[in-house]
Chains A and B, each alone.
Chain A
Amino acid sequence: MSTNNGNGTAATGGPIGKSVKRVEDKRFTMGHGKFTDDIVLPGQTYAAFVRSQYAHAKILSVDTSAAKAMPGVVAIYTGADVAAVNGVPCGWQVNFKNGNAMKEPKHPLLVADKTRHVGDAIAIVIAESIEEAFDAAQTVNVEYEELPCVVDAFKATQPGAPLVHDDVPNNICYDWALGNPIEEVNAAMSSAAHVTTLEFINQRLVPNAIEPRCYNSSYDAINDKYTLYTSTQNPHVIRLLMCAFVLGIPEHKVRVISYDVGGGFGSKIFHYTEEALLTWCTKQLGRPVKWTAERKESFVLDAHGRDHITKAEMGFDSGGKIVALRVKTYANLGAYLSTFGSCVPTYLHGTLMQGLYTTPKINIDVTAVFTHTTAVDAYRGAGRPEATYLLERLMDLAAHEMKIDPAELRFRNFIPPFDGVNQPGYQTQVALQYDSGNYHAALEKGLEMLGYEDFRKAQKESANNGKLLGVGFSTYIEACGIAPSAVVGSLGARAGLFEFGQIRVQPTGKVTVYTGAHSHGQGHETTFAQVVADKLGISMDDVEIVHGDTEKIGFGMGTYGSRSIAVGGTAIVKSIEKVIEKGKKIAAHLLEASADDIDFANGNFTVKGTDKSIAFGNVALTAYVPHNYPKDLEPGLDFSSFYDPANFTYPFGCHIAVVEVDKETGKVALKRFIAVDDFGNIINPMIVEGQVHGGVAQGVGQALFEGAEYNEHGQLVNASYMDYCMPRADDFPIFETATQVTPCPHNPLGVKGAGEAGAIGSTPAVVNAVIDALWSGGHEVKDIRMPLTSERVWRAMQN
C-alpha cells in the first residue's frame, strides 16, 4: 500500500492528495443537476398536507367532504385511513439506567387522535395539480380541542407537565449515564482545588438545507414494483426501514433513487413519514404522488438539532490539571423519536466527554425527554458539537477563573501524542479508544497563526476605542467513520454501519464504481474517482462513480457522520485490492510467470525484476475475452466488498476566533477565524477545505445567529427566513485554515473524515471570544445564551 506516509498525500504521484477540480460541477453550474423536485412522472399527482396549527390538541373531527368536491382532487386520506399502518421506526435503542428499553411511542404517518407538535400531519390531499392540492387542503375542516403543551425539556419532566404521549410518564424517553461510577467522580470533584461550573443551553437549530425535502413515489401494478425518488442521504436505509418496519412490502420490489440532493447536514438521513405515506398512497391510486416541502413545512418538520439543557462541572487540582468532570444534560427529543434521535445525546455525545484531555474521572448523565416540538436528531456534528461546546466553554472559563492562560491550561491537560502504531490508542473514560492524535501541535500551530502575543496587545488598545476585542479557543475531537457494527450493535444500534463498494472493470479497462455512500455536496464523484484512479494507475476520466440508486448499488449505509471516505472509501479500496489480486493471476498467465512474482504499479502488471509487463487495460480485456486464460479462474473483473471499520476515526484540531464587540450595541463582528484541523491523510485538499469552510459557517451560525424559538404555545416563532437568521456572505471574514496529518492507523487510506469538524470546533471558539472581549472590558460574565444576538451581548455588558 502506498499510504500512511504522514504528509497527507500518497506516495504514488497519482491523483490522491491533489486538489483535483470537481467532475460533478458542470451539471450544477449549467443548471442540469437532477434534484428530486425536477422529476415529473407520467400521470403525476401532487400532494399537500393539512397540518396541525396547534402544538398539542385533541382532534375532534376531520371533515374532508368539501375538499373532496374541489376540482382536481384525486384522493384525501386521514389518520383513520392509515391507522393499521405502522409508524416510522427509530434506528437505535437506548436503555434506561435500570436496563429497561427506552419508550418508543408510535410515530404515525398521519395522526388520528392527537397532534403533538405544530405541523403534525392530519390529512394528505392529492390532486391533479399542486395548485388544486393546496386549494383543497385549505377546505379540509379540522375541529380541535387545544391542550396545554410543554416545549422545554427540563420542565417536561416536572410533575404535572402535560404529557406528549399518555404512556410515557414524565415525558422521559430514557435516562442514561456513562463513564466512571458517580461516587468516584463525586469524590474526585470534592478533592478538587477549583471547580468551574457552567449551566447553559445548547440551543435548538433548524438544519435548513436549501433544497426542501421532496419525494415522488410511483407504483407499477403489473410488476408489483415501487419506485421512490427521494431527497435522502441514504437510499438503502430508507428502503430497509420503509419496507421492513413501516409498510411491510418486499424490499426487492422497491427501488429507491436519490439523485442530486441539495444539502443534508443530517436532516436528510432520517426516514420521514412522508416517504412511507406517499409510497402507501401510490399503491392505492396507481399513480405517482409527489410532495415537495414548503419552507414553512421544512422549519417544523425536518428534524432539528441540539437542544440540550446542561449543567457541567470541571474540577482541577492546584496545578490546573483536570481531576473530574460531571455532567447532567436534559436532551429534548421533540414529540417523536426520529430515526437516530435517541443516540445523539448519548453515544454521539457522552462518549466525547474526554475531549483532548487526560481527565481521570468522568460521569455524564442524560435524561432524554419528549416535548411538543419538532423531533430532534442528528444535525452536522450530532452530539459532538454539544460535547465540544461543553468542554471548551468550561476550559476558557476555568482558565479565566484560575487566572491561567487558556492555551496554557490546555497544554497542561492534553493527552500526549500517540500514533496508534508505535504507541497504543488512548483509552478514554467514556468507552471510546482514540486512534491517533497530536493535540499539542495543532494548538501550537493555531497560536502561531493567530500571533497570540500581538493579539493580546491589540486587545488592550482596542478597549480604549469603543470596541472590545476578544479571542476564543476550542480544541476539539470527534468520533467519525461511523462505525464498527459490533460496537454500535452492542450499544443499541439496530443497523450495521459498514459500507459497500463495488469495482466493475469494463472489458475496455474503464471502471464503474458503485458506492453505498451518497454525495449531497461532498464531491464523491471526484474524491472516490481520485482514489480509484490512483490505486489502479488509470486516468480519472476512465472512472465513473455511481451512487444513490438501490437498483444499481448492492447495498449502502449512506453518508453522515463524516464516514464516506473512511468507510465507503475503504470498501472501494478493498474491492480494488481484489481486482488487482485477480489481475495478477491473469497477468501471470499471460506473462508466463507465477502470480507471486507479479507487481502492480502505475497501471501495469510487471514480472518482478524484469521489464516484462502488461497494462491494466489488457488484463481487463483478457478477463472478458478469456481465450488465453488461467484454468480454474472465473472470467470477468468485478468485485464488491463490505467494509466494517475496526474503530471510529478521531479527527481533531484547534479553532480560534477573534471577535470585535460594539460596546454600545452589543453587535458582534467576527474578525478572524483560524482552523487547524487534523483529518489524517487527505485525498483532495480543496474539497476538505471547502468542508471546513461550510462547517465553520454553520458553527458560527449557531454561536451568533441561529436558534429555533418556541413560545409557550409551542409555536416556532421564527419559522421563516424573515425571522430565522441564516448566516450570509457578509457575516464572515476570510477563513484562515491549515491542516496537519496524523494518519488513521486502522484504515488503508489513513483517512479520518472532514465533514463535520468545522461545525464541531467553531461554536465554542466564537462564544469564548465574545466572552473574552467582555472580560477585557471589565464585564464579569460567565455565559451568554446562544445565539449571541446583539441584545444578549448588550445585556451581558450591563452587569
Chain B
Amino acid sequence: MIPAAFDYQKPKTVDEAIAALSGSNSKILAGGHSLLPAMKLRLSQPSKLVDINGISALKGIKEEDGEIVIGAASTHADIAGDRIIKSKLAFFSEGALLIGDVQVRNHGTIGGSLAHADPASDWPALVLAADGAIEVQGKNGKRRIKATDFFTGLFSTALQENEIIIAVRVPVPPEGTKATYQKLSHPASRFAIVGCAVVRFADGKTNIAFTGVADHAFRASNTETAVSGKAINEDVIATATNTAVQGVIFLSDHHASAEYRKHLTKVYLKKALQVIT
C-alpha cells in the first residue's frame, strides 16, 4: 500500500502543467481516486505526478455561449451540487450522485474520470448522451474533441501525449428536453454494470448512450434512429431494445456475464425510455 517513489509538481497554470508533463512517464494527478490505488498496488509506477488541483482555470462551472462549461477539475460532488447543473442539466447531477461514495465524490473529478476511460464509469455515458465535447490543451494549444470521438477503447481515449482535459462542454439543452441516467451498480465497486443515459429533445430527437456493457462507452446510433421522432410506446421500446444489443461485444466478468449484460442493456434502456416518456 505504498506507492513507488515519484517526483511531484503542482503547477499553477495549464501551460506549466503541460511543460511539467513532458519527459518520461509522468501522470496527471486530478482526484487520484483511480490513480493512487493503482500506484499503491504498484500496478502503476509513474516517475512524476503533476497535480492539477492548483490550476484555477480548471475549476468552476459556468454557462457560456449556449454551453455549460464544467472545469475538468470539478469533483463529482461539485457537479452534483451546482446550481446551473441542477437547473439546466439535472441528469448530470443525478448521475454524479450515483458515482462511488461520498468520499469519492468529494475528490474524484470529471476530467480524471473521462481521461481514465474506465469502461464502467458513469461520466462517459452522460457526456455522450448530452452531445458533449471534451476541451483539451496540449503543446499546440487547445482543441475540442466530440465525446463521440473521444472514447476509443478499453481505458483509451483520443487524448494525445501530454494533453490535458481542461473542460467538458455541453450544449444547454433547449426547453422541453428530457434526460435520465439509469444504472445498475456493481455491488462491490459501484461502477456501472450497465448505465444508460437518454436525452430526448422536444422535437423527438433522442440520444442514447451506454456505459459498462462494452469495452468503452458508446452512443447507440441505430437505436437512436429507432426511437427518434417516434412516440415512445411498447412497440418502439421493443424495437429499440432489440436494436441496442445488435453488434455490441458485451463485457463479461465474474459478476455479470456477457449474456446478462446484454439482457440488462435492454432492461435499462427500457427503464430510461419509460422515464423520459
Contacts and interface: CB of A to CB of B under 8 A. Distances in A.
A789 B255 contact: yes
A722 B260 contact: no
A112 B129 CA distance: 56
A296 B41 CA distance: 9
A725 B188 contact: yes
A131 B263 contact: no
A134 interface: yes
Given A138-B42, A667-B184, A721-B188, A791 B267 contact: no
B267 A724 contact: no
Nearest to B37: A722
B187 A705 contact: yes
Contact of B260 (A131, A134, A705, A791): A791
B257 A665 contact: no
Interface residues of B, number: 18
A15 B188 CA distance: 42
A294 B41 CA distance: 9
Given A296-B41, A726-B188, A665 B264 contact: yes
A461 interface: no
B2 to A, nearest CB: 5
Most chain B CB inside 10 Å of its own CB: which residue of A130, A296, A667, A794: A794
A726 B188 CA distance: 7
A716 to B, nearest CB: 11
B118 to A, nearest CB: 11
Query: Is the contact region of chain B dominated by helix, strand, or loop, or is it mixed?
Result: loop
A790 interface: yes
Interface string B1-14: 11011000000000
Interface in A288-326: 294-296
A66 interface: no
Contact of A717 (B189, B254, B256): B254
A632 interface: no
B188 A664 contact: no
B187 A794 contact: no
Contacts of B188: 705, 718, 721-726
Contacts of B260: 790-791, 794-795
Nearest to B40: A294
B200 to A, nearest CB: 22
A794 B255 CA distance: 13
A499 to B, nearest CB: 37
Contacts of A722: 188-189
Contacts of A667: 184
Interface in B172-221: 184, 187-189
A135 interface: yes
B255 to A, nearest CB: 6
A790 B184 contact: yes
B1 A294 contact: yes
Contacts of B256: 789, 791
B2 A725 contact: no
B5 A723 contact: no
16 contacts: A134-B42, A135-B5, A295-B1, A665-B184, A667-B184, A705-B187, A717-B254, A718-B254, A721-B188, A722-B188, A722-B189, A723-B189, A725-B187, A789-B187, A789-B256, A791-B257
Given A717-B254, A723-B254, 18 more contacts: A131-B2, A138-B4, A296-B41, A665-B184, A665-B264, A665-B267, A705-B187, A705-B188, A709-B254, A721-B188, A722-B189, A724-B188, A725-B188, A726-B188, A789-B187, A791-B255, A794-B260, A795-B260
Interface of A: 130-131, 134-135, 138, 294-296, 664-665, 667, 705, 709, 717-718, 721-726, 789-791, 794-795
- Across the A-B interface, the 7 shortest Cβ-Cβ residue pairs: A725-B188, A791-B260, A725-B187, A722-B189, A134-B2, A664-B267, A294-B1
Interface of B: 1-2, 4-5, 41-42, 184, 187-189, 254-257, 260, 263-264, 267
